[in-house]
Each structure stands twice: as C-alpha cells, then as structure tokens.
Amino acid sequence: MAVLVEGVCLLLRCDSVNRLYPGGVAALADEHTAQAVCADEELMALTFEDSDAAEEYLAELEQYGFRHLHNDMAVDAVLADPHLGPISPCGWAEYGQVAVDSDEAKRVAVCSMPGAEVSELCVPKGWRFKGSLSEELALEDEGDEGEDEREGEGEGEDEGEGEGEDEEDEAAATDDESEA
C-alpha cells in the first residue's frame, strides 16, 4: 500500500505511532488536528494547510517521544511535499506517483515504505480526486527524470459511499479509518 501525499504532509511511521502515542494509530487518527489523515499498515499521512501548522503539530508529537531528525535523517516523522516527497533525508519513506483508476490525467503523489508492493492507495475518508488538492496540483508524468513511478498501481477498493458521483471521479482506494 501507499499513502496519499497532498498539501503539506507529515508522514509518520506507524510502528512509532503505536509505540509512542497512547492508543496508537487509531487514537492519533481520531485526535489529530490535521486537515486530513490516512494510514496504511506502515505509514500515516497527516495533511496540513501550511508548514507552520505541520511543524507545530510535529512539536506536539515530540513531547510524546517522536524524533523528527537525528544526524539530519528522519527517524519517526518527516515532512513531505507532493512534488518532491520527503523534504529531509529519509530511509523509510519512498516517493512516487500513481494514476488513480489507471487514468494518467489523475496522477497523485504517494509515499510507501521502500520495497513495498503498491497495489492500493490509502486516502482520507471521503476523499475523491475531483476537487482534491491533487487535482489542483496537476502532477505530470516525471518518468523521464527518474522518479519512482508506480503507474496503474493506484487501484484498490473504495469503501466509502458513492455520494452520487460518477465512478470515474472516485479514488480507487481504501478508507484509512477502517484500518487505523
């Protein structure tokens, strides 16, 4: 699996969240102050409107024992950008792009653990490509520049309700909160 990276994204290792945050991933997902949250078995992504809000939240998490950087390498948490991936050196989060519903016009930024098979995309509850930050960003295929492309692997199960939208506008994804 892979988690969606939109806006200013704070990526957390789920093993660290389960070890350091009371109640683990499920509790953090319920209590977060982020704009959106999603988690797979290995990574949790919290989306913030701006870097100040993300950095303030990271400082709060550091009070629980989370470590952002050690010797300039990400330990438990890292900020990520939809164009670049993790903004600090990070050996545990790999950046890529996937096409939602195998539609190259619907590209989104994702992160996963290195070497993880990316067969499903984990997105925040109720997320749809239409009207999303990813749609506004309009990522282009950067395969010629050596990016870790994961084309066509954004397909999965959509566990959310259709809410009257066409299937082509729905993300092929799993609902994070059912797994958190």
The residues spanned by each domain of the chain are 1-180
pLDDT-derived band at 141, boundaries 50, 70, 90: low
Query: According to the model, what pLDDT value does residue 117 have?
Result: 84
Query: According to the model, what pLDDT value does residue 34 have?
Result: 83
Beta strands at 36-39 and 69-70: parallel, antiparallel or unpaired = unpaired
Q: What is the mean pLDDT of residues 118-140?
A: 90
Query: According to the model, what pLDDT value does residue 80 have?
Result: 96
Query: According to the model, what pLDDT value does residue 118 have?
Result: 83
pLDDT-derived band at 4, boundaries 50, 70, 90: very high
Query: Does the reported pTM lie above 0.85?
Result: no
Q: What is the mean pLDDT of residues 47-51?
A: 92
Q: Look at residue 96 and tell me whether its pLDDT is greater than 70.
A: yes
Q: Look at residue 159 and tell me whether its pLDDT is greater than 50.
A: no
Q: Look at residue 115 and tell me whether its pLDDT is greater than 80.
A: yes
Q: What is the mean pLDDT of residues 14-20?
A: 98
Query: According to the model, what pLDDT value does residue 137 have?
Result: 85
Find out whether 72 and 88 touch, Cβ atoms under 8 Å.
yes
pLDDT-derived band at 142, boundaries 50, 70, 90: low
Which residue type is seen at 100? Answer: V
